[in-house]
Structure 1
Amino acid sequence: MPEVQEILEQYGGTFLQKHRLSLVQHKAMNAIRNCRTSRLGEHMDKCPHCGYEHPSYNSCRNRNCPKCQTFAKERWIDAQKADLLDVGYFHVVFTVPQELNALIYRNQRGCYNLLFRCAAETLQELAGDKKYLGAAIGLTAVLHTWGQNLCFHPHAHCIVPSGGLTTLGKWQPSQKKFFLPIRVLSRKFRGKFMALLKLQIPDIDFKLVSQCFRKEWVVYCKPPFKDAACVMEHLGRYTHRVAISNNRILKVENGAVTFKWRDYRDGSRWKAMTLSADEFIRRFLMHVLPAGFMKIRHYGFLSSRGKQKKLRICQIQSGTSLCRKEKLSAEQLIQKLIGRKPSQCPRCGYSGLLRTGFAPPGS
């Protein structure tokens, strides 16, 4: 099947001649092009039992690489299992109107931070109101900047346990399908975001501000998860996703890329879209985040500051088992993904592949 790597390798040189890229975009593009090729170094796996030999190439480990995110996702999910509560979880999505897209793209780091801050504060402040829950909640927020068609669409996915800690330190479970009214969430988020945006960008166009205030901002909550296992599966689907996965690319030919996308405005139907290779690469690189930017953040009793003590209280009072599961090793995670131990010969099943013939990057 065609891959993002193949598209960048075949058409990336022409693209670079026409467009100026940031340093982080250059790094991402080069990393994906070189991922699991001899350019990043290699070694030979050899089976002493049947003589099987196969070269293994190093991964780029770039967070924008479709190939490298599967293992990173599994490792992150395994590390989060100890923080799960045996309660329901809600999935809340905060979006901003498309009129702000150009402004946000020109001020990415500041506006992305603002999106995180306003989404978290909106949920925490309303949940703390006795009219709704009257408790301090925890949440995990993940930033996405794309839509299904690869256009720029910044939004934050928030996973929220259905309950929190009262001021007396007692666990307060939510008795409703969702404890916060969506319209109240939307308007509070809108007010916060626009007020702080005007402080951050003093010369913002007044007409743009008025236009955004007149619109109803889209905030929606998905049905609660059945159990903790569903939460982890869902989290993994969002935390390490890149703009487009390789399995969505249908074909690459005659300077054009065809991929499938889900049209949510047309009953979530799958459709095919064809773009020139130049436009496909432009859209893909548009979602490379600023260097060092944290796209996954924890708040409330899930934040690093309060987790040691507060999460323990939540686990005890919500009836969550305190039996800690040991983290899986890298070998165990790879075995989970490929169905066999990485040291096991795929031909004869002998468990003892030897690594020989190391070649450093660029050799």
Structure 2
Amino acid sequence: MGRPSLEVADIFRSHGPAWRAAQRGHLSLGQLKVMSAIEQCRSAALGGHVLRCEGCGTDQVSYNSCRNRHCPKCQSNAAQRWLDARQADLLPVEYFHVVFTLPAPIADIAYQNKVAIYGLLFDMAAEVLQVIAADAKHLGARIGATLVLHTWGSALTHHPHVHGIVPGGGLSIDGKTWVACRPGFFLPVRVLSRLFRRRFLEGLEQLHRAGRLQFFGVHAALQDAKAFADWLAPMRQQEWVVYAKPPFAGPQAVLAYLSRYTHRVAISNSRLVAADVSGVTFRWKDYRAKGDAKGKVRHKTMTLAPQEFLRRFLLHVLPGGFHRIRHYGLLANGNRRDCLAMARTALQAKVEVPTGEPAARAPAFVCRHCGRPMLIVEIVLRERPSIRAPPS
């Protein structure tokens, strides 16, 4: 696949320096690192390799990737490696897709408290799924879930929500049998929504009492306990959005979905249309608009000033060390292997053991002209960063 005609990196290189100067003192270290990584990705600044084709002898220079998780160019390989590791986790059952979304007022304070509130969003979504599934009135089983955090809407606005991929059933309490959900139906959405609302608000109050929330600007008054309680009150009455989609059409559809969602960034290069000094134009999907049967009316274009585009993109930089993909219940990292083995035994599912010689590994570099493998013939060293010397 050829290089897109326009990349997020091009916008950062053109407008990033002026943006840094204008926002000096207002950008976090994490945001500055993301900007620098995207600007240098696959450029001489990071070094690379000189490649030579085994077939036609063509030489090519391939520069290194920044491997930053917010970079649009670096996620496809990371997603593929992650998917290869997940292949063995799939069970021969229906899989469901659920989404838990935070109301807009809480999303506003979540931006100021990313670690605390995003973490609470993960934990409460997982807890609600497991509690309702364990209830004998609904499923009566121990389930597993993979949750993925997205913090953006299609227009790059701040819209934190988690996507969950959940097997359609779970192990009985004694772990000996598999309890399947009804075909095409996992758990009642309204029950999930009501419990999610209650448990999340309880958790938010606990964070406030523990002094783990910070408030700035128009929200500064929420530091007071009574003001915070008054602010929360209306949200106890409104409906919270929990969405459940129909089951996937087989395990391969689950993997295809995961490949699109697990390592997605706020905007991909393929959505960019044009960019100049006056604005950045990109495609977005208006979910509030009524589209036709194929959803074509919903797809629109939007133009933002370059500074506003950068601001919205950087809204979604996660704190260092924060995990945006998490596994719970039967799929939790600590007990995944044992629980999946028990599930396969209960399902009487055979584990396919590879036989014969392992499949040949695809070459890392392939010639764009003839398709033959390319060999590394020279290492291009990365540019040395300038070192500040003490004043003379």
Band the TM-score falls in, shorter-chain normalisation:
over 0.9
CA contact under 8 A between 1:49 and 1:350: conserved in structure 2? yes
Partner residue of 2:193?
Answer: 186
Partner residue of 2:162?
Answer: 156
Task: Note if 1:215 corresponds to 2:215.
Answer: no
Distance 1:48 1:155 in 2: 48
Question: Greater shift after overlay, 78-87 or 254-263?
Answer: 254-263
Residue 310 of structure 2 aligns with an amino acid whose one-letter code is I
Residue 369 of structure 2 aligns with an amino acid whose one-letter code is R
| TM-score normalised to structure 2 length | 0.86
Q: Residue 273 of structure 2 aligns to a residue in which SS? A: strand
Task: Note if 1:270 corresponds to 2:290.
Answer: no
Partner residue of 2:322?
Answer: 293
Among 167, 171, 175, the alignment partner of 1:165 is 171
1:251-290 residue CA offsets vs partner (Å, 9 max, x unmatched): 0023300001001110351001000000000000110110
Distance 1:325 1:253 in 2: 53
Among 10, 35, 40, the alignment partner of 1:6 is 10
Cα deviation, residue 350, structure 1? 4.5
Task: Note if 1:33 corresponds to 2:55.
Answer: no
Question: Greater shift after overlay, 33-42 or 20-29?
Answer: 20-29
Cα deviation, residue 118, structure 1? 0.3
Cα deviation, residue 316, structure 1? 2.3
CA contact under 8 A between 1:84 and 1:228: conserved in structure 2? yes
Partner residue of 2:310?
Answer: 281
Cα deviation, residue 348, structure 1? 4.2
Partner residue of 1:358?
Answer: 379
Task: Note if 1:316 corresponds to 2:350.
Answer: no
CA contact under 8 A between 1:42 and 1:359: conserved in structure 2? yes
Partner residue of 1:124?
Answer: 130
Task: Note if 1:235 corresponds to 2:258.
Answer: yes
Corresponding residue pairs, total: 353
Is there any run of 5+ residues in structure 2 with no aligned partner, and where?
210-222, 385-392
Is there any run of 5+ residues in structure 1 with no aligned partner, and where?
336-340
Q: Residue 99 of structure 1 aligns to a residue in which SS? A: helix
Residue 255 of structure 1 aligns with an amino acid whose one-letter code is S
Q: Residue 201 of structure 1 aligns to a residue in which SS? A: helix
Cα deviation, residue 191, structure 1? 0.3
Cα deviation, residue 359, structure 1? 2.1
Partner residue of 1:338?
Answer: none
Among 359, 368, 371, the alignment partner of 1:346 is 368
| TM-score normalised to structure 1 length | 0.93
Gap change, CA 1:324 and 1:193, over 3 Å in 2 = farther
Among 302, 306, 319, the alignment partner of 2:335 is 306
Gap change, CA 1:320 and 1:357, over 3 Å in 2 = same
Distance 1:346 1:151 in 2: 38
Task: Note if 1:138 corresponds to 2:139.
Answer: no
Cα deviation, residue 101, structure 1? 1.7
Partner residue of 2:212?
Answer: none
Partner residue of 2:203?
Answer: 196
Question: Greater shift after overlay, 341-350 or 167-176?
Answer: 341-350
1:172-205 residue CA offsets vs partner (Å, 9 max, x unmatched): 1112432321111101000000011011013462
Residue 196 of structure 1 aligns with an amino acid whose one-letter code is G
Partner residue of 1:79?
Answer: 85
Cα deviation, residue 294, structure 1? 0.5
- Identical amino acids, percent of aligned pairs: 45
Residue 187 of structure 1 aligns with an amino acid whose one-letter code is R
Residue 147 of structure 2 aligns with an amino acid whose one-letter code is A
Gap change, CA 1:87 and 1:349, over 3 Å in 2 = closer
Q: Residue 98 of structure 2 aligns to a residue in which SS? A: strand
Partner residue of 1:177?
Answer: 184
Residue 14 of structure 2 aligns with an amino acid whose one-letter code is Q
Task: Note if 1:58 corresponds to 2:44.
Answer: no
CA contact under 8 A between 1:86 and 1:319: conserved in structure 2? no
Cα deviation, residue 343, structure 1? 4.4
Partner residue of 2:20?
Answer: 16
Gap change, CA 1:80 and 1:49, over 3 Å in 2 = closer
4+ residue stretches of structure 1 with deviation over 6 A?
Answer: none
Residue 69 of structure 1 aligns with an amino acid whose one-letter code is Q
Partner residue of 2:215?
Answer: none
Gap change, CA 1:172 and 1:356, over 3 Å in 2 = same
